[in-house]
Structure 1
């Protein structure tokens, strides 16, 4: 007698992204069988039909099935409601001073929730089922509501710093208490984890980063912060400590496998060694570095990290740096930068690029036991790609190459997150973004007025 299943997802090709030889990397005419929020079988379509009786089905001919994508660094709030408004010819300091920071200071709870909801909708319709929130959240409970509404997974944190002024600034004890409160807000959630989330850069004292790192360790969670997307952090740390940032943080005992550093672009050889020696993960956001003119082409050490076993996830960053929440686009750019930096087309494959968006990204977050590949027992985060469009004609034998070099998130048709169909036929099933358009426009105008400039005046 056939076993009952809630959902069977079929594809001409199932790309498991598994490193287990017993599972295999690819199953032609395959199927993923889901019961509640877990994968119970990854097999051929014929075998699934013989063994399981499904309530619902997705995919079929003309489909490619792969794991949910992972966004390792995304500001869900703060800049989202200013999307494509912050002028792209402003330097980062001016963009922050005139636009981003005034926007952060003006954010209400309603703005945080709407911004996060819109960000997560865009992400999931591009195949992203797990997002590391980068910390601009002022109202964590409202962002958790956004995760709940859209139905995807991720992390939750609220920025803190204790150097200089700002909406998230405060004494060390206050910042640590805020971190603990954010983590408690997500406690017990089945898809969202509370993380310690500092702004980083040179806006955290030694005491704060050490205590924040210890807090993450003691609570069994992780910490993320920004460091060295440009040369400014290195100059600041050398003036203050006589050492480069990551070398200094290692000396404080603040680094370890529980740390995810965003960016780490302008680092030197000693800092590369620090990341490797301490098993620190890095979130690489290549589009941000190009849009902000941060000279990544002259200082791109992430390929070396990978070559020596370092852990890297891909991120899309914020609206003043990336605009598109599309990890497949980030994978393409990372692959191209790697080939160009090393001067060798053989240095990096489409398979490795897609791995950064899936299983290798999950490893960077310490979540490869749960997400990142299609394997029995893992969370049922599954993406169906429509392989019938123009970019798929003629049909490629190796869908990995097409996914990375020809396609992008617009090829995503259906998405399952924790066993629930959240995108069907390209539209978000859980929240209709069109119903939020009028409110988003009004909040956009409010933020533009708070920033003291109209985009037409820039």
Structure 2
């Protein structure tokens, strides 16, 4: 891989000093950042390097999406009605669609998610569990060039679609992780669905497997109040209290959601250094009572390990981490607490703090020499950047993800002048339209459009 210079941008480093370097050039050598300095000095040090002109642009670290489902939903985005309950959404829509989806659907869905993510400046996606074809998901993500973790969802509850005995679930998890590289852009991890769909045997087995394979693990818990109620019936205690008793919490684990926690559970998260992925857009879309139950801001204030996520295309609706940062900050400010979350804190969750939360803080999340060259160039000529104010506030409050122009992952240019370099977007769009129609037909689902409205029933 040849050397590359990103020339003359205003660089938001997110290094420990939170330096912003104006008119600065970044030298990329191989997959890493080799130097930051003046264009004159770095052209002399790296003769013949290719160049990307970033004059007048804002250059930031690649954004991190710590909880993003990539399968099936992208093919039916905006189709699941928003006036139905969660159970109807799951069992009348999601389960039938996954039942009738195939590997081609999953690979295409993953590619769609990756391309859209990159177009919004997201360079790292953590897939919290694919249902059927994780190997195809890896192929789809890799085609677009995004950094990712992928695993195969597992649960062992009885009379639930796709369920399997705990030993079978764990064997499949191990096979998936071992089939993927341990280094490089796309790696594996252990993924359970969580909630109340996994036995104690499966939870403890997954934690032991992750330890044995030296890989992270994740599962979902408490996006709404239902999990706490289920665990009270199941074992007479709250979910995280139960997990602590099982010995499965700790720095290796990233909990998806963990919204509805009580005081004891908050302390447990902090004491065990368990990480949390917060997806504010999904909680609002699904009406899960985020502003009544969330303790995420408290976790941030008390030094907890928190990252941002966007969930699925029919929950968070868009893999836009800057939008998640906006929502997180706005919702917390509206609660009128004494110490509101500020823009610079939210942007840190999307970059360096999120990187530390997912165990990759030594590799990504900031623009520093020796770190992976995951770099985003935002077009400073867009009206969203005129005039230029406080960068942290504009990044979070200014809806600037639409100004993403160029993106690098591991030193590879994967988006140039707003166009993906590894995927033909026109062919991708045509394939998505075709497969969406076919998938809905196979699942026996007829979308219910909002416009034009359905004719009123005769009286």
Q: Answer whether TM exceeds 0.5 for this pair.
A: yes
Matched-pair contact (CA < 8 Å) for 2:394–2:400: no
Rounded Cα–Cα distance in structure 2 between residues aligned with 1:288 and 1:11:
37
Q: Could you say if the C-alpha distance between residues 147 and 54 of structure 1 is closer, same or farther in structure 2, counting changes exceeding 3 Å?
A: farther
Aligned-pair CA distance for 1:453: 2.7
Aligned-pair CA distance for 1:130: 0.7
The answer on 1:303 being equivalent to 2:303 is no
Matched-pair contact (CA < 8 Å) for 1:161–1:204: yes
**Which residue is equivalent to 2:229?**
235
SS in 1 for 2:143: helix
Aligned-pair CA distance for 1:191: 1.1
Identify the match of residue 135 of structure 2 among 141, 144, 166. Answer: 141
Aligned-pair CA distance for 1:277: 0.7
Matched-pair contact (CA < 8 Å) for 1:264–1:282: yes
Q: Could you say if the C-alpha distance between residues 56 and 166 of structure 1 is closer, same or farther in structure 2, counting changes exceeding 3 Å?
A: farther
**Which residue is equivalent to 1:401?**
393
**Which residue is equivalent to 2:240?**
246
Matched-pair contact (CA < 8 Å) for 1:228–1:234: yes
Higher mean Cα deviation, 183-192 or 252-261? 183-192
**Structure 1 residues 17-32: aligned runs within 5 Å:** 17-19=14-16, 21=17, 25-32=19-26
Matched-pair contact (CA < 8 Å) for 1:423–1:429: yes
Q: Could you say if the C-alpha distance between residues 59 and 225 of structure 1 is closer, same or farther in structure 2, counting changes exceeding 3 Å?
A: farther
Aligned-pair CA distance for 1:108: 0.7
The answer on 1:8 being equivalent to 2:2 is no
The answer on 1:40 being equivalent to 2:37 is no
Aligned residue pairs: how many?
A: 450
Rounded Cα–Cα distance in structure 2 between residues aligned with 1:56 and 1:279:
42
Matched-pair contact (CA < 8 Å) for 2:363–2:371: yes
**Which residue is equivalent to 1:150?**
144
**Which residue is equivalent to 1:432?**
424
Matched-pair contact (CA < 8 Å) for 2:11–2:21: yes
**Structure 1 residues 282-293: aligned runs within 5 Å:** 282-293=276-287
Rounded Cα–Cα distance in structure 2 between residues aligned with 1:94 and 1:5:
52
**Structure 1 residues 58-137: aligned runs within 5 Å:** 58-137=52-131
Aligned-pair CA distance for 1:136: 2.4
| Cα displacement string for residues 396-425 of structure 1 (whole angstroms, at most 9, x for unaligned residues) | 2x2221111113321100001111111011
The answer on 1:447 being equivalent to 2:444 is no
Rounded Cα–Cα distance in structure 2 between residues aligned with 1:395 and 1:50:
31
**Which residue is equivalent to 2:457?**
none
The answer on 1:371 being equivalent to 2:364 is yes
Higher mean Cα deviation, 409-418 or 435-444? 435-444
**Structure 1 residues 131-280: aligned runs within 5 Å:** 131-280=125-274
Matched-pair contact (CA < 8 Å) for 2:181–2:187: yes
Q: Could you say if the C-alpha distance between residues 337 and 369 of structure 1 is closer, same or farther in structure 2, counting changes exceeding 3 Å?
A: same
Matched-pair contact (CA < 8 Å) for 1:84–1:323: yes
SS in 2 for 1:394: coil
The answer on 1:384 being equivalent to 2:367 is no
| Cα displacement string for residues 116-171 of structure 1 (whole angstroms, at most 9, x for unaligned residues) | 00000000111111100010241122111112211111101010000034453100
Matched-pair contact (CA < 8 Å) for 1:78–1:136: no
Rounded Cα–Cα distance in structure 2 between residues aligned with 1:223 and 1:454:
36
Rounded Cα–Cα distance in structure 2 between residues aligned with 1:371 and 1:7:
18
Consecutive unaligned residues in structure 2, runs of 5 or more: 451-459
Aligned-pair CA distance for 1:338: 1.9
Q: TM-score, normalised by structure 1?
A: 0.95
Matched-pair contact (CA < 8 Å) for 1:10–1:63: no
The answer on 1:331 being equivalent to 2:346 is no
SS in 2 for 1:155: strand
Rounded Cα–Cα distance in structure 2 between residues aligned with 1:204 and 1:176:
12
Rounded Cα–Cα distance in structure 2 between residues aligned with 1:165 and 1:433:
41
Matched-pair contact (CA < 8 Å) for 1:102–1:450: no
| Cα displacement string for residues 245-286 of structure 1 (whole angstroms, at most 9, x for unaligned residues) | 011011000111100000011111111011001100000000
SS in 2 for 1:129: strand
**RMSD, aligned CA:** 1.6
Rounded Cα–Cα distance in structure 1 between residues aligned with 2:276 and 2:404:
26
**Which residue is equivalent to 1:354?**
347
Rounded Cα–Cα distance in structure 2 between residues aligned with 1:110 and 1:189:
26
| Cα displacement string for residues 27-48 of structure 1 (whole angstroms, at most 9, x for unaligned residues) | 1111211011111112233432
Rounded Cα–Cα distance in structure 2 between residues aligned with 1:416 and 1:87:
36
**Which residue is equivalent to 1:53?**
47
SS in 1 for 2:360: coil
Rounded Cα–Cα distance in structure 1 between residues aligned with 2:263 and 2:66:
24
Rounded Cα–Cα distance in structure 1 between residues aligned with 2:30 and 2:240:
43
Consecutive unaligned residues in structure 1, runs of 5 or more: none
Rounded Cα–Cα distance in structure 2 between residues aligned with 1:294 and 1:443:
31
